[in-house]
Amino acid sequence: MKKLFIPFLLLFVLILSACGNNEKGNENKEDKTKAKTVTYQSETGPVKIPENPKRIIALSNGPNVLALDGNIVGIDQWTNMNPLFKDKLKGVEVVSEDNLEKIIELEPDLIIAGSEMKNIKKLNEIAPTVVFTWGKLDYLSQQVEIGKLLNKEKEAKDWVSDFKERANSAGEKIRAKIGEDATVSVIENDAKEFYVFGNNFARGTEIIYQAMNLKMPEKVKEKALKPGVYTLSSEVLPEYTGDYIIFSKNPDVENSFVGTETWKNIPAVKNGHIFEINSKASTYSDPITLDHLLEFFEKSFLNS
C-alpha cells in the first residue's frame, strides 16, 4: 500500500507545481496586458504606446532618448559609432530596420524609426512604432516630442528653456567680443569635396545661427540656407568662409588641403579664427551634442 501511495503523492506534487507555474505565467501575461498605455499623436496618426516605455529600440532619434535616460535596448549603427554616446550605449545591441529577428529577440515595448525606413508595417507588428521625418520638427521641438513618448515632457521642456537661456547668454558675450557683424562659416570635407552648412544641419549650426544669433556670410546664406548644405570645390572655398570658421573635421578623412596655400591664405585661417570639432561627435542636434558644442563654442570664441 505504501509503495502505491508514493507515486500518487509525487503525481499530486507535480500537478500542484504545474498549476503554480501556470498561475505565475498568467500573472506575467496579465502584468503585460495591464501595462498602462497612452495615445501619442504622431505625424502618421494616433499610436498607442506604453505610458512608461521600458525597452526602447531607437532606429532614429537615439541621442534624444539617451538625453532623457530612456532605456534603449537596440540602437542604430551611426549613433553607436558616436564617441559622445559610448558610455551610455555599453551592452546595447546594434540593429537596423532589416534586423527583424534581432528586434523581436530584444522584446521592445516601443520602437522609434525614421519615416524613410522600410519595414515600418512589420515593425508595428512587433511593438508600437512611432516614426519621425528628419527635419519636419525643429531641433528643440523634436526633443519635446521624444519627451512626450517617454512620459518626460516636463524634463524635455525644462532642458529647452535652460538651453535657450544659456545659448542666448553665450551669444551675447561672443558678439560683444567679435563684433555684431562678424560672420561664421561651418564647413566639412570628404576626400573630394567641401560642404558648407546652413542653420539646421547639425555640426553646431543650430547653436551658431539660431540659438546664439551669429551671422552667416552672404554667399553661404544664398547657397546653403534653404537646402541646409551646399557642395563646393576647394578652389571657391575662400568665397564661402566668414571671419570665423567652424571646421567639422573627420579624423578618418584625408585632410592634406590644410597645407595648401589656398587654405593658408584664407583670412580666418591666417588670423587663427578657426575652431575644429570632431564631425563624428557633431552630426546630431540632441541635448547631449548641443550642450557639448555650446560649451566648446563659448570657450573657443571667448578665448581666441
Domain with residue 90: its CATH number is 3.40.50.1980
Q: Are residue 291 and residue 248 in the same domain, yes or no? A: yes
User: What's the rounded Cα separation, in Å, for the pair 98 and 77?
Assistant: 12
Q: Give the pLDDT confidence of 173-230 residue by residue, as tens digits.
A: 999 999 999 999 999 999 889 999 999 999 999 999 999 999 999 999 999 999 999 9
Q: Is the pLDDT of residue 281 over 60?
A: yes
Phi first, then psi: what are they for 38, rounded to 5°? -130, 165
DSSP state, 55?
S
Q: Are residue 203 and residue 292 in the same domain, yes or no? A: yes
Q: What is the domain extent for residue 123?
A: 37-135
pLDDT at 304: 86
For the segment 17-44, the average pLDDT, to the nearest whole number, is 65
Q: Is the pLDDT of residue 235 over 50?
A: yes
Strands (E), 30-120: 37-42, 45-50, 56-58, 72-75, 93-94, 110-114
Q: Are residue 173 and residue 46 in the same domain, yes or no? A: no
Least confident of 23-27, 151-155, 298-302: 23-27
Q: Is the pLDDT of residue 25 over 70?
A: no
Q: Is residue 23 part of a domain?
A: no
Classify each residue of 111-136 as buried b or exposed e, where b means 16 or more C-beta atoms within 10 Å of its C-beta. Answer: bbbeeebebbeebeebbbbbbbeeee
User: What's the rounded Cα separation, in Å, for the pair 67 and 22?
Assistant: 40
Residues whose CB is less than 8 angstroms from the CB of residue 139 and which lie 6 or more positions away in sequence, other chains included: 200, 206, 285, 290
Portion of the chain with pLDDT greater than 70, in percent = 89
pLDDT at 34: 63
- Cα-based angle 63, 192, 292 (whole degrees, multiple of 5): 25
Overall residue count recorded for the chain in this entry:
304
Q: Is residue 71 part of a domain?
A: yes
Cell of 300: 573657443
